Chains A and B, each alone.
Chain A
């Protein structure tokens, strides 16, 4: 009975197992063989261990144009909701070592900014939302182990890359003033710290 149900599902709404496996490998072609991220021509983010709700929101943001990115828009457009759920569930369960490769001299400074913020510059503690272990929750992303150049690119281009449909505001609006307040050295320090976390 179970087998019949499963076979039926592969031909109807839910994507087949081989369909999910093929798509996982396709994602990992760019995001790294264990979804640990990869430094391509642009930094390609780590997906491993990411919050599934965050990944779902980003895939929808690529489709809707809230997050303009021609390659990821192409990728996300052909994914059914069932496939998106299957992929995000799988990636959220992976836990490879961080890719690494960031400069180490600013890690301590980055830790202070992440855990305590910079009250004088109106920068909130990142840990307040992303959690003291930087693992995130729901639509708030995990940052632990994320690529150093990816975090830098995200924080220094925040308002160009996120929340681009004003009539459809999303959670990215919360980060806009924070990203704006951080200085470049602070961004580099936080990125270096996060890239080391498991």
Chain B
């Protein structure tokens, strides 16, 4: 990606709040693309958005939006839309007036624009209602409509779905995806929810303790997390501490060749696996490779959408699979089954601090 393609270019941005320091952060987002920032609470994700929006001053670095330097501009001059976690609707104004707030602030009176946005987010019937009377999902639709009314050149979304119940969240996630696809402006979406980040973001950046740990496309970041923290955030489970000796990983009774060479690191390593990639029973019988072993089923939990099977032995592991496979493979507590860990479902990392 060349410089000219980057609608948003964040370089070396550093912000402080008390003893917490965020950055230096480097990011770039092209027009029509969405960057999802994934991280645990307290990582500085919201602080980064607040800095880009101008609610918080950066102590260093530059933020360029379509070539304009935003650093010294007040929030109202940045053309950056912000959708807050709790929607932050103006409680004393009706839905219509909330959506029309930006137009009114500029002295425009465009009923058509407000009507169009109300229609687009399917909230026309709520136009005269007070925000206090709306459900969480309705509030976020109003917040999106309100942010777009200002015709922003960048949209920032701070955990817009995290306060919603599951069906509403799934619903709004689709709305959000379609919206962001068609907007033609860059967007940054912050979340602590892995699925949300992967579903909405074209690119995902993992932010931990004020630093970007890894930034890559959704597919790549899930397949190849670069450290144990990223792996955990992206759904990898820890298998235990093994040892690496010239590309041979030893963990419990397993000794497998690994492609994760870790720059010729020899010694203890943290081993992670993808719990949904493990094959069990009849599915694992075909293979007799080094990652094949037999283990006893400790527990079978028929949770949805994926059921959970815990296996005893060395190493102990939890496997996720479709509930219908429980019956097909005849899995139940107490039986001994074949287990296959596909090589690309294993990752090894140097222990934290090494």
Report whether chain A binds chain B. Answer: no
A residues with a Cβ closer than 8 A to B are: none
B residues with a Cβ closer than 8 A to A are: none
